Amino acid sequence: MDLEFNKNEDSFKQYCYQLATKLKKVHLGGGEKKIAKQHDKGKLTARERVAYLIDENSDFLEIGAFAGEGMYTEYGGCPSGGVVTGLGHVQGRQCVIVANDATVKAGAWFPITAKKNLRAQEVAMENRLPIIYLVDSAGVFLPLQNEIFPDKEHFGRQFRNNAKMSSMGIVQIAAIMGSCVAGGAYLPIMSDEAMIVDKTGSIFLAGPYLVRAAIGEQVDAETLGGAETHCEISGVTDNKFDSDESCLDYIKSLFDKIGASEKAGFNRAEPHPPQKNENEIYGLFPTDRVKPYDMLEIISRLVDDSRFEQYKEGYGQSLLCGTARIDGWAVGIVANQRIMVKSKKGEMRMGGVIYSDSADKAARFIMNCNQRKIPLLFLHDVSGFMVGSKAEHGGIIKDGAKMVNAMANSTVPKFTIILGNSYGAGNYAMCGKAYDPRLIYAWPTAQMAVMSGKAAANTLLQIKVASLKGQGKEISKEEEAALLRKITDKYNEELSPYYAAARLWVDGIIDPLESRKVISLGIEAANHAPIEKFNVGILQT
């Protein structure tokens, strides 16, 4: 046991070291030379602006740090999607912050930038949180304009969201701290208050070159759309400031005077750390994805006082359901159990698989949490639903539908952390991204796909070989083995949590020891938005 624990611990800490190394690189944005150029202009970088703005010694929960990872390589990449987004506290008030990173292609919008901005606005809208835009962007990245301009989830959707948030009474504050061009000019001006930094901030629908090409007028950027123009002539912006810092100080003064919001009323008691050592998660969680482990041991290192009160403990044991507290907040937990268990009928149940009784139990538990206004936390390590004639005859589809329906219709906020596997319909039932978790994060050991890499690779190989034979081509054992390696490598790359995080299928990748903080900050955010009455829809009890 000690040897196995030590092997797990060493392996998991390697994963966490890789995570920290990747984050350090991502935080440099466009690189040290580009950062130096920002400083030479008297400007702070996006991350420096965020750090200056948020309360001292407070946490900033970044959303989408790995957005764009490994993408757009033909254009030099797009670290963090060219924008920094997340949850922070300003003058004690929790809010969403969006800061364009001008060190990445002058803050230009790639397709993933639009997706990330819309995700930040979604977080603000779902949780009724104020949002701050720190604008410094050259506008749409023209080589990819066809992937960002006209569709529903493209660039223009953010302005629609501006209008919707205004109607919802969500405070929006914008600071123009660099370029703000073309359609992007609408974002700050559709906010409640817009300020601009003198000499470095500018805002116009068309820059000097386009104005000259379009109407023949020769005009410099300051005259066209600088701070003096828009604060003293057009009235487009409300106030001008002589530095990034003074502009950010003004935002702090605004937040110091915002009134209190209506609360959802989630229960919170005095926080307590887990009684069991959180660091032991590294040794208890196997990085070999086929090895069993007891999820109860993981939960006991995530919850306050290591106290977890189970619901229907002896029934549907492949899913653990129960209530606990995390940083004082009451939560209902639905987690995949990874050990083999024996049912009362004497059947051995595989760990990580959802059976009919487990799905039925989870559906009822989710209903109870909605009745009692308890936020839900889903902990993924799921291979999928049970298959085979016995499962089908037992109504696995019907019971799985019950669980999905209850989860989808849940009105209390849902949070998801993917620890290990998240395969197939199991991802859906356990509140994957498609089911609107308020936040969804992954451990560095997470894997997301329709099925495991080995199963998928063998399936894809059979299809490929059959296709070749259908064309009258024979394939040798050596060629078949080489083809399997190629398919396996590609599929394993797509299983990676970094692949998922790059595409914003998850909000980020975290060290397990950050899990409590993520959940606590998420519930704090959700507590700003009153919830609707739960309606079970077609769920049959």
Pairing of strands 384-385, 353-354: parallel
**Rg, Å, the chain Cα set:** 25
Nearest to 432 by CA among 417, 420, 443, 445: 417
SS3 annotation, 333-402:
EEEECCCCEECCCCCEECCCEECHHHHHHHHHHHHHHHHCCCCEEEEEEECEECCCHHHHHCCHHHHHHH
How many Cβ atoms sit within 10 Å of the Cβ of residue 530? 11
Q: Which two tokens stand for residue 260?
A: 């209190």
Q: What is the pTM of this model?
A: 0.94
> Beta strands of 236-328 (E only): which ranges?
239-241, 309-310, 319-326
- Between CA 419 and CA 452 the distance in angstroms is 15
Query: Are 198 and 240 spatial neighbours (Cβ–Cβ below 8 Å)?
Result: yes
Taking only the tens of pLDDT, the chain with its 541 residues reads 589 999 999 999 999 999 999 999 999 999 999 999 999 999 999 999 999 999 999 999 999 999 999 999 999 999 999 999 999 999 999 999 999 999 999 999 999 999 999 999 999 999 999 999 999 998 888 899 888 888 888 888 999 999 999 999 999 999 999 999 877 788 899 999 999 999 999 999 888 888 899 999 999 989 999 999 999 999 999 999 999 999 999 999 999 999 998 999 999 999 999 999 999 999 999 988 888 999 999 999 999 999 999 999 999 999 999 999 999 999 999 999 998 776 666 666 777 899 999 999 999 999 999 999 999 999 999 988 887 888 887 888 888 999 999 999 999 999 999 999 999 889 999 999 999 999 999 999 999 987 666 666 677 777 777 777 778 777 777 777 777 777 777 777 888 999 999 999 999 999 999 999 999 999 999 999 999 877 765 454 4
- Between CA 27 and CA 9 the distance in angstroms is 27
- Between CA 14 and CA 252 the distance in angstroms is 40
Query: Are 299 and 338 spatial neighbours (Cβ–Cβ below 8 Å)?
Result: no
> Beta strands of 143-186 (E only): which ranges?
172-181
- Between CA 447 and CA 513 the distance in angstroms is 19
The DSSP secondary structure of 457-499, one letter per residue, reads HHHHHHHHHHHHHHTT----HHHHHHHHHHHHHHHHHHHSHHH
Q: HSE (CB half, 13 Å, CA atoms) of 384?
A: 14
- Between CA 438 and CA 331 the distance in angstroms is 14
